[in-house]
Amino acid sequence: MDLSFSPEEEAFRQEVRAWIAQNMPPHLKAKAEQAAHFEMPEVMEWHELLYAKGWVAPHWPKEFGGPGFSATQRFILGEELELAGTPPLSPFGLVMVAPLIMRFGSDAQRQRFLPKILSGEEVWCQGYSEPNAGSDLASLRTMAVDAGDHFVVTGQKTWTTYAQYADWIFCLVRTSTEGKKQQGISFLLIDMKTPGVEVKPMQTLGDTPAFCDTFFDNAKVPKENLLGPLNGGWNLAKALLGHERTLVAAVGQTRRNLRLAKRLAAHHLGANGKPLLEDPHFRSKLARLEMRLRAHQMTNYRALAEQQKGHHPGPESSILKLVGSMLVQEADELCMELMGQSSLAWHDDEAVEPFERWVPPTFCYDRATTIYAGSNEIQKNIIAKLILGMPGA
């Protein structure tokens, strides 16, 4: 057993750190410094810089333009980016649909889509959930009717994150109503500019327009945009879920949150006039969170070591999602408590310090972390069934 990183890995960490320090534009650094929310144009600006460096898709194989990193290198890069507070890249193209296109797509589809995902020229969003198909995704009803050389798609997707910025959407659609629900689902790639596709942004609890209703009204989608076999979409969806869950382990995000909490604790004074960071009560609260995070981080490393050996993420990835999302929320809650009355301010630059402004909206929005990417209840069902082998589960 050896829990340390190798000298080469440590050297790589230093290289990444130095590169970020030199190449992250000052206005993005300023926002990171204030723990601010990045707008989509800023995310894409950063995407282009990483693309130019060859680091935008660390998990992609070399043949598709990836850097050929080991699992550990990928992890180190991800961790350093998160710690530096760089804009989180949109995952829908790079992390979600691209691996499916590599695995299930035709050569023509690979050539058509992958380069533009890599360069950031085309932005993607995910069209799975519907008003009546959330946890029970297989009961989705958006219909794709065969019309010769194309499908005609009609229905509604919901909670589509950043659909208003997307050029393409990958959708689960119903192509058959026969047999089991799961058997009649196909995986379609749809151009957002298709006539009949309409996007309506909605405000979240954080007062940001982060998700949308996406409507399809007789939208014509060419058949070459079917990914994988007709009525075989469910298998693609399942392959994607494992990736999505490792994404939300959120170790870097929680560590950054913890750092923010310490900064807040140094800034706010307790009843004795001393910073809360020196108050044993708040210090032990911070310590507890850091200690729990350590256990989570080690769990993440264990999963990583498995991947290094070539194993695909299995049901254990549910643990990472479960714990990661809860720790994100605990860190937000602690930040709010440390801010005291200042935590009541809402999107107000003057009432609080600039670095505090995004704490309350983030606290609100992050209630979503235990809901999206498979709610925590669903994760527990998965663990009960697939790991513990519970009867009837």
Partner 1 sequence: MNFDLSDDQKMLAKTVADFGKKESTVERFRKLRDADGLGFEKATWKKMGELGWLAIPFPEEVGGLGGSFVDAGIVLEQLGKTLVPEPYLSSVVLGGHALWLGGSPAQHEKLLAPMMEGDTILALAFAERNVRFDPRCCATTARREGDAWVISGQKAFVLDGHAADHLVVAAMSDQGMQLFVVDAAACERKTVRLMDGHRAAHVTLRDVSVGEDRRLTARPAVEVLERVLDFGAAGAVAEGLGVAFAMLWTTVEYLKTREQFDVKIGTFQALQHRTVDMFVEVELLKSIHTESVVRASEEGPERTRAISAAKLQLAQGGQLVSRQAIQLHGGVGVTDEHDIGLWFKRMHTLVTICGDESAHVARYAATMDAS
Ligand X SMILES: Cc1cc2nc3c(=O)[nH]c(=O)nc-3n(C[C@H](O)[C@H](O)[C@H](O)COP(=O)(O)OP(=O)(O)OC[C@H]3O[C@@H](n4cnc5c(N)ncnc54)[C@H](O)[C@@H]3O)c2cc1C
- Enumerate binding residues for partner 1 (CB under 8 A): 129, 132-136, 139, 158-159, 202-205, 207, 211, 267-271, 273, 276, 281-282, 329, 336-337, 340-348, 350-351, 360, 363-365, 367-368, 370-372, 375-377, 380
Residue 258: which of 293, 232, 223 has the closest Cα? Answer: 293
Residue 124: which of 74, 167, 83 has the closest Cα? Answer: 167
Instruction: Give whichever of 90 and 307 is closer to ligand X, judged by the CB atom.
Output: 90
The answer to whether 34 contacts ligand X (rule: CB under 6 A) is no
The single-letter DSSP state of residue 265 is H
Residue pair 251/300 in contact (Cβ under 8 Å)? The answer is yes
The single-letter DSSP state of residue 174 is E
Residue pair 189/66 in contact (Cβ under 8 Å)? The answer is no
The answer to whether 40 contacts ligand X (rule: CB under 6 A) is no
Residues 6+ apart with CB under 8 A from 29: none
Instruction: Give whichever of 109 and 161 is closer to partner 1, judged by the CB atom.
Output: 161
| Planar angle of CA 106, 110, 114, nearest 5 degrees | 160
The answer to whether 55 contacts ligand X (rule: CB under 6 A) is no
Gap between the terminal Cα atoms of the chain: 35
Instruction: Give whichever of 338 and 359 is closer to ligand X, judged by the CB atom.
Output: 359
The option from ligand X, partner 1, none interacting with 160 (CB < 5 to 8 A, set by class) reads: ligand X
The residue within the footprint of ligand X, chosen from 134, 270, 275, 315 (CB under 6 A), is: 134
The option from ligand X, partner 1, none interacting with 161 (CB < 5 to 8 A, set by class) reads: ligand X
Shortest Å distance, C-beta 341 to partner 1: 5
Q: How far apart are CA 59 and CA 307, in angstroms?
A: 12
The count of chain residues that interact with ligand X, using the rule CB under 6 A, is: 18
Catalytic residue among 244, 316, 330, 356: 244
The option from ligand X, partner 1, none interacting with 48 (CB < 5 to 8 A, set by class) reads: none
The residue within the footprint of ligand X, chosen from 143, 297, 372, 386 (CB under 6 A), is: 372
Residue pair 207/346 in contact (Cβ under 8 Å)? The answer is yes
160-219 positions binding ligand X, by CB under 6 A: 160-161, 211
Shortest Å distance, C-beta 190 to partner 1: 21
Shortest Å distance, C-beta 159 to partner 1: 4
- What is the number of residues in the chain? 393
The option from partner 1, ligand X, none interacting with 128 (CB < 5 to 8 A, set by class) reads: ligand X
Residue nearest to ligand X (CB): 134
The answer to whether 239 contacts ligand X (rule: CB under 6 A) is no
The single-letter DSSP state of residue 59 is T
Residues 6+ apart with CB under 8 A from 240: 96, 97, 99, 100
Mark the segment that binds ligand X (CB under 6 A) among 15-23, 101-109, 287-295, 373-381. Answer: 373-381
Encoded one letter per residue, x for contact with ligand X by CB under 6 A and - for no contact, window 86-125 reads ---------------------------------------x
Residue 247: which of 31, 92, 83, 20 has the closest Cα? Answer: 92
The option from partner 1, ligand X, none interacting with 306 (CB < 5 to 8 A, set by class) reads: none
Residue 48: which of 121, 124, 115 has the closest Cα? Answer: 121
Residue 349: which of 80, 27, 37 has the closest Cα? Answer: 37
Antiparallel, parallel or unpaired: β 168-174 and 124-127 = parallel
Active-site residue flag, 79: no
Instruction: Give whichever of 66 and 360 is closer to ligand X, judged by the CB atom.
Output: 360
Instruction: Give whichever of 126 and 317 is closer to ligand X, judged by the CB atom.
Output: 126
The answer to whether 126 contacts ligand X (rule: CB under 6 A) is yes
Residue pair 58/95 in contact (Cβ under 8 Å)? The answer is no
Instruction: Give whichever of 33 and 346 is closer to partner 1, judged by the CB atom.
Output: 346
Residue pair 208/366 in contact (Cβ under 8 Å)? The answer is no
Residue 259: which of 82, 89, 90 has the closest Cα? Answer: 82
Helix/strand/coil for 205: coil
Q: Which residues bind ligand X (CB under 6 A)?
A: 125-129, 134-135, 159-161, 211, 368, 371-372, 375, 377-378, 381
Q: Which residues are the active-site residues?
A: 244
